[in-house]
Amino acid sequence: NIIDIRSAFIMGQGLKLSVENEADKKSREYQYLEEFVKFNNLNEELPQDLAKEAEVEGRCLVRLIPDPEKKQIAIRFISYSANNYKITTRDNDYLKYDKATYMSEGKEVVLEANEFVYKRFAGRVDKVNDVMPKCGMVLRHVEDLDKALVDWRKINHLFAAPTPYFKCGTEQEASKLQAFLEKIKWNIGKALCGTAEFSLVGMTDGGKDSIEKEIITLCKIISGATGVPVHFLGLPDLMSNRAVSTDLFEFINASTNKERLMWAGFYEELFDKVLRMAGTISEIGRAHV
């Protein structure tokens, strides 16, 4: 849920091409990019999917694959968790990505700079391959929250099922009453007369409040670390009376602003490399954005 919400705010309504001059829309480069966007479903679900993957891994690597038959270029997401790829830089410049290397079906795949687009969304600026996703910092808290909810459910289940208890004078009387109750299949709601003293016994609620406080505290920590407001985590009652809808959305907008800008740079680089690569498979020639 956290990843879905963050990716939705990061990507918004998806990807749209724009130009400074309306006349540029008639250019071959712009028309080619429009076809490229449709060819790769960039005008539909793919940008959201890539944003979700980047939230999981803290990075995004896509491969550019020419399709000479259709005179287009396909892009394919390469998962770090599945391929454990490594990005190498050029001339000790951490901003110039030179190659991407990973193993696929037992064979080493090496992508040159013009064959891939790579963007980091977390970690230190100069640590190209050392990335920790933002949500990764609260995984333990999310797991603890899940466990606390399970414990809370178990306690509530026990509280909801108190045990009938009959206090008898002798062991013989207790055995006789037990046999009688089993014979008539007695349950609460049926009238019963006798000399035994009846009561309902159950567990104390000593730990119930502690677990409830733990759940609320964990939700606050997760919200603060991820930028997702607590009411999106299912706790609208924690919102202050002074909080308004605009303030809540500003919170998550501020938390995802950096990622939105980085995705804009990602697609600018993607379009630039696509147009350059297109010159080898189409007639539009070598061009740039």
- Per DSSP, what are the bridge partners of residue 64? 75
DSSP 62: E
Per-residue pLDDT at 170 exceeds 70: yes
Higher pLDDT, 128 or 92: 128
Which residue is listed with tokens 């700079």?
Answer: 113
The token duo for 123 is: 């970690």
Q: Which residue has the higher pLDDT, 24 or 57?
A: 57
Residue-wise pLDDT for 109-151, tens only, equals 999 999 999 999 988 888 889 888 888 889 999 999 999 999 8
Mean pLDDT of the chain: 85
CA atoms within a 13 Å half-sphere pointing along the CA-CB vector of 198: 12
Contact 101, 88 (CB under 8 A): yes
User: Coil, strand or helix: which one is 104?
Assistant: strand
Contact 289, 30 (CB under 8 A): no
Percent of the chain exceeding pLDDT 70 equals 90
> Beta partners for 109?
102
The DSSP string of 185-236 is T--TTS---SSSEEEEE----TTHHHHHHHHHHHHHHHHHHH---GGGGT-G
Tokens (6 digits) for 3: 């990843």
Phi, psi of 86 (to 5 degrees): -130, 130
- Tell me the C-alpha distance between 80 and 161, whole Å: 49
Please classify residue 271 by burial: count the beta carbons closer than 10 Å to its beta carbon, then call 0-12 exposed, 13-18 middle and 19+ buried.
buried
pLDDT, tens digit, for every residue of 220-256? Answer: 999 888 888 888 888 887 776 655 556 667 888 888 8
